[in-house]
Structure 1
Amino acid sequence: MTAGRQLLAALLLAVGAHAHAAPPPIAAFFDNSPFNGAMLSPNGRYLAAFIGANDKRDGLAVVDLNDLSAKMVAQFSDTDIGRAQWVNNERLLFSTVDKSAGRRDVRYAPGLFAVDRDGKHFRQLALRRNPFLRSGDDTRELLPWHTFMLQQAGAQSSDFMYVADLGIVGAGIVQSEDLLRLNTRTGVATPVAHPGVSKGWLLDQHGEPRIMKTLDKNIEQVLYLDPATKQWRTLASFDAYTGEGNGFEPLAFGPDGVLYVVSNHGRDTRALFRYDLANNQLPAQHLVDLDGFDFHGNLIISQDKLLGVRVHSDAEGTYWFDAGMKAMQEKVDAKLPGTVNLITPPTRPETPWVLVESYSDKQPRRYLVYNAENGRMSEVGRSAPQIQAAEMGPRELYYYKARDGLKIPVWLTLPPGGQHKNLPMVVLVHGGPWIRGGSWNWNADAEFLASRGYAVLEPEFRGSTGYGTQHFLAGWKEWGLKMQDDIADGARWAIQQGYADGNRICIAGASYGGYATLMGLAKDPDLYKCGINWVGVTDINLMYDSGWFYSSDLSDGWKQYGMPQLIGDRVKDAEQLNATSPLLQASRIKQPLLLAYGGADVRVPINHGLKFYDAVRRSNPNVEWVEYNEEGHGWALPQNRIDFWGRVERFLDKNIGAH
């Protein structure tokens, strides 16, 4: 077998999946995946994929779809390739990430590199560390370490791309984002002139900068570079932290130059609109909305035509405008029944190949290529390859009413098999808290717990985003109060529905979820028999001031303008913040408790955990403490993820055991 064929074989199935008599091992859920995604070239002739075959670092491979020959075009011995984009049909831009290092041990920035699809003309474009830490003159032509790829690919029709020059201070706070036009062959970069301090950019249909966002104190502005006048003008101005004002989120430019934006615009849920640039206003009628969900998604453009919109309601899906794509979707769905199948065509196709991402609640994401002419479909790779769908449990979205009548969405994951009643249950609380917690997909945390015999309940308590403005606003200043009641009401709903054994319920979560775990143990001691908190907030005042010794990446703007409105003012709401402080309520917590923190966490510094552990163990002997010294806000290293979830499994088995 040729080297190319060997590589292709590794791409097609990076790790073979085998049936397990016992539940899949912990590593099947939490080890690093040997395959990490793929993307078609603009013309659809080539497929770039991220793969770390044979225990090597993740590299960048390119497959020629004409003959399925494959070649590793970039791979390092000391770091992994993390992100990449097609510059054009012949060249790729990429950056690195060291998957063997926790946050404490990260010494390098991602850097920027470029290489041709055949592995030739490799060039480093940006440094991976500060130049004063290096010697010699080899850094003079390189961009600074704080140069990053954009999330947007750009025109993909020349050797030029736009990249971001970030102004980073302190523990990783981004204060500005300047734009550079970079020649990926010569390394020459030219800054883009702009007014004010930029915080973000949007490229137009030609891949040129057209929208810029600025932030002054708490006011965000959306500016538009008018191609007719070559001048910047303001489209919107609103409060960046509370959303107050006539704001919207620029999404993308269509092939005809129409600006598409996401906005509430008099609605409870956010929808997709075509923005009227001539009159600086939103139209009365939206283009796409999602019943019960805020719009989240992206445009699908090919051959200079808007084919459809990728959307995300309970699950991801596609709203096709194009009849041909609707027909192709039906054919792909017939070949891949029971899964969500997301089709992405190349932007300027010269072949019939499209990329398909396929997944379900039981099936981790698979990547396939599909030939629209002959119907041929080939799997390229899959994440979590040791997981078999038949060994996973079902996951569904339900709704229940909180005690004040507010409708709360909740994700329920059940063990595989037919026994779905009177189960021990883990109430898994998402972090944020101002994020959407769950989706209909394969979730490693929930499926691991379900594979061990537990029902897993994930409430989208008030304050969670993605379910409309009313749901979000209802969570303001409700940490430890109505937000906490929503979680308890969800647990009681699961008991009433017969899913959960009311005597065997444990609450768990990370970050805000860790905070809610501790408050739940204190506030509802009869409901929760144990708790698991990792990297959790233990006192809101510590978020405002973590002390001179501990670094925090919470910006001064968020502390001044966001936290007082959304969480609580240190002065005006002092009594409430004390009453909802797990640290000050530690003596009330008597249940068994597992605490885990990262020694290098800058989002929730470890003093949150240390102070709380010191306080709670004075009156509670059943507290287990683990510190991963090199980790930040969550576990980057697979050995720590595997160790942590092994501890979780033993802790749950001891306190609410599924067996």
Structure 2
Amino acid sequence: MQSNTLARWLGAFALVAAPAMAQQISVEDFAKYPDIDEVTLSPTGEYLALAIPSPDGKETNLQVVRLSDNSTVKTLRFGQNSHVMDVTWTDDDQITVQRAKRFPLEQFKSNLGELMSTNITGDKQRTLFAYVPDDGTQRGRNKDMGWAFMAGPLDKEPGKAIVTYYCWPSECGEDGDTVVFKVDTRTGSRQEIERIKDGDVSSSLIWDHDGIARVAYSEAKDGTPKTLYRPTPTSPWTPIPKTIAGYEVAGGYIAEDNNTLYARISDNQEATTLYKVDLAAGTRTKVVGRDGVNVGTIMTGGRKDVPFGVTFTTPGPAVQYFDPTSEWAKLHAGLMQKFKGQMVYFLSFTRDDQKVLFWTSSDRVPGNYYLLDRANGNKIVQIGARMPWFEGKQVAQMKPIEFTTRDGAKIYGYYTAPIGAAPGPKPLVVMPHGGPYGPSDTWGWDDDVQFLASRGYGVLQVNYRGSGGRGDKFTNQAFKQWGVMIQNDITDGVKYAIDQKLADPDRICMYGASFGGYSALMQPILNPGMYKCAIGYVGVYDLPLLSKSKESESEEVERWYERSLGTDMAALSQQSPAKRAKEIKVPVMLVHGKADDNVGMNQFRAMDGALKDIGQPPEVMLGAGEGHGFANPQNVAELYRRMQQFLDKYIGPNAKVATSP
């Protein structure tokens, strides 16, 4: 995004909605990368730093903008095909970024554990942490054998920051160490503050306001949480008592007194609750929680991260203030009223707390950035939009649903009706999320959902057992149940949609990616006649093959698959679509990336070959150079076109409903 794009947004904010446009949104609009990935405000409020993707998605560069005249100071690249994320101001004119990779099936980028810094003009760029391999006779300058992550700047020491570094086993032993460094982001010099060895998996840390780690939570080899804490800043690490957390601490903030911890806590693998913990006394007080669903984001305000409320994402979006008298709770509540129907998140604050950068988003708004000036009558200026081309266009509403399974479990999910549809049953695409363990569908903008709704299809998303967001007990009960419990939950969700007159029972198709692709092919086997077609996208179809392929991975990965997938090959074969292809009585479309290093092409070949062997060859789309999900916008647009043709053929308005291909 160039400076004139930013300038287009800068001006007094007015709540004036553009009229809805009737024409169908193009596939290219759904395939584009956002204009903006990330925005952060400098400590003085003079500058913005923005992470700006290239149109082809191959790079994300850093752009520095001066707010006084809306001019671009500099656009910075950090290497060919390089992405930046977690943009952090470590001083008034100094920025640190993480190097990242964009994974196609994820909305946002993923951190690679490499840190770089620059001044605002870019003439003093520096790599702080990275592993650079030797190139021929030239030795790579950086040889950090581990992953580095920015913990936060030290306002009392301008230019310096705390960095958490996780050693690779090859450097620090089998389990690695968690190392804390104080880093001068201007010079690159670093000082080791401490090294945490007590942990089977690298520790996540919670810091006090002096940059001292006070809570360390990690995972033992059997997958159970492991938490250490310091009752005082000078105390040694000690296991956290059951009176504070019976099972796990899943993140939190320490108040300015450096003793009061606001933390998400679970005592018996149930969903997390927010507690206020007195670290020195070892006591806690319940603040807020809901039965069966995790506390989401702990909302904080001001430069000193003062906790004032929490969000919930399940069953639908909600905000609860535990300190409604807080100036930040009052400000946030006012913004929630102004931006009705959207969620509001504070992003960054100036050092004097007078300017606030925040963003809003919803199921129908991909995300907008705003700057609020508290010293100027709370004037709001729009800084930019993630996907401005959707503004003024008619998009679909995602509604939370809830149903009870055949064995009495309460399941949440979402139903999105076709755009402009009258009440009554509609053609339905069932779209299970990937994982299966940990991820979950949440209320918010989703390109796939909006595309399908724009083409006349309702979309059902089910957060089956195994999904995240409801505690480890809810997730772990679905271990080794890929083709059993999880599929029953999805099936019961479809029956709910039919019973509620949301879905036309004669026009239902499955579509999913990764584990969702597995489900897309498994569901027609388990429910003959329920579906008219299936689309598997970068899916897993042969579970014994998957199990064997993980034997070459790390011990940690092997242990995970033993726990979650199992080693009973007969049971895995019974739960494999590729082993039961003759039971798939619907037309199939298979989509895969030829360079997929997560779910390899051997999975595609197993399913494709099995269908060909029974005389039912699938429609196929293979992406050259594509990985676990398509990244090239041209390929994504072509995928959407071919999906539409496939769906229209089998469940569209003029489809000839059939029970077999």
TM over 0.5: yes
Aligned to 1:460: 463
In 1, are the aligned partners of 2:217 and 2:249 still within 8 Å (CA)? no
**Is 2:259 aligned against 1:260?**
no
Partner amino acid, structure 1, of 2:558: K
How far the C-alpha of 1:92 sits from its partner, in A, is 0.6
Give the equivalent residue in structure 2 for 1:610: 605
Secondary structure, aligned partner of 1:450: helix
The answer to which of 210-219 and 613-622 deviates more is 210-219
Contact 1:363 1:389 in 2 (8 A): no
Tell me the TM-score normalised to structure 2 length: 0.85
In structure 1, what is the Cα distance between the partners aligned to 2:625 and 2:169? Answer: 21
Aligned to 1:241: none
Moved more, 576-585 or 515-524: 576-585
* Structure 2 match to 1:593: 588
Change (3 A) 1:616 1:622: closer
2:352 to 350, 365, 369: 350
- Contact conserved, 2:231 with 2:279, CA < 8 A, in 1? no
Structure 1 residue 268 displacement after superposition:
3.9
Which residue number in structure 1 is paired with residue 213 of structure 2?
Answer: 209
Quote the residue 2:95 is aligned against: 92
2:634 corresponds to 1:639: yes
Q: How far did residue 401 of structure 1 move?
A: 1.8
CA distance in 2, matches of 1:434, 1:54: 33
Structure 1 distance, partners of 2:378, 2:303, is: 21
The alignment partner of 1:490 has SS state of: helix
User: 3-state SS of the aligned residue for 1:627?
Assistant: strand
Output aligned runs, 1:571-582, within 5 Å: 571=568, 574-582=569-577
The higher relative CO (CA closer than 8 Å, separation ≥ 6) is in 1
Instruction: Give the aligned residue type for 1:209.
Output: A
Q: Give structure 2 stretches of 5+ with no counterpart.
A: 12-17, 655-661
Work out which of the residue numbers 221, 225, 230 in structure 1 matches 2:226: 221
How far has the Cα of 1:409 moved from its partner? 1.0
Shift in CA distance, 653/55, structure 1 to aligned 2, threshold 3 Å:
closer
The answer on whether the counterparts of 2:74 and 2:120 sit within 8 Å (CA) in structure 1 is no
Give the 5 Å matches for 1:67-466: 68-75=70-77, 78-83=80-85, 84-97=87-100, 111-127=114-130, 129-130=132-133, 132-133=134-135, 135-136=137-138, 139-140=140-141, 142=142, 144=144, 146-150=146-150, 152-157=151-156, 158-168=158-168, 177-191=178-192, 192-196=194-198, 199-202=202-205, 203-218=207-222, 220-225=225-230, 227=232, 229-235=234-240, 246-257=247-258, 258-265=260-267, 268-278=270-280, 280=282, 283=284, 285-290=285-290, 292-302=292-302, 304=304, 306-313=306-313, 314-315=316-317, 317=319, 319=321, 321=323, 322-344=325-347, 346=349, 349-350=351-352, 352-372=354-374, 373-388=376-391, 390-466=393-469
Q: How many residues align?
A: 628
Amino acid at match of 1:308: F
Given residue 422 of structure 1, which amino acid in structure 2 is its aligned partner?
A: P
In 1, the alpha carbon distance for the partners of 2:92 and 2:311 equals 27
CA deviations 1:568-618 (Å, max 9, x no partner) are x314xx443232122221221121111122333333222122112111221
Q: Could you tell me whether the CA contact under 8 Å between 2:521 and 2:536 is conserved in 1? A: yes
Which stretches in structure 1 are left out of the alignment for 5+ residues?
A: 238-243
Could you tell me whether the CA contact under 8 Å between 1:268 and 1:468 is conserved in 2? yes
Give, in whole Å, the separation in 2 of the partners of 1:136 and 1:490: 58
CA contact (8 A) 1:342 1:356 kept: yes
Q: Which residue of 1 aligns with 2:658?
A: none
Any conservation in 2 of the 1:598–1:627 contact (CA below 8 Å)?
A: yes
Q: Is the 8 A contact 1:81 1:94 kept in 2?
A: no
Distance 1:583 1:189 in 2: 53
Question: Per the alignment, do residues 537 and 99 of structure 1 end up closer, same or farther by CA in structure 2, a change over 3 Å counting?
Answer: closer
> Cα deviation per residue 1:343-382 (whole Å; 9 max; x = unaligned)?
3451x63263212211221111111112233232221111
Aligned residues of 1:506 and 1:529 also touching (Cα < 8 A): yes
Instruction: For 1:365, give the aligned amino acid.
Output: G
Q: Percent identity?
A: 26
SS in structure 1 opposite 2:30?
Answer: helix
Provide the alpha-carbon RMSD of the alignment. Answer: 3.5
1:508 maps to 2:501: no
- Contact 1:34–1:58, Cα closer than 8 Å, also in 2: no
1:153-202 C-alpha deviation (Å, 9 max, x unpaired):
243442222334444589xx996654433221111223333334560231
8 A Cα contact 2:429 2:511, kept in partner: yes
Residue 271 of structure 1, CA deviation: 0.7
In structure 2, what is the Cα distance between the partners aligned to 1:18 and 1:146? 52
Aligned partner letter, 2:306: L
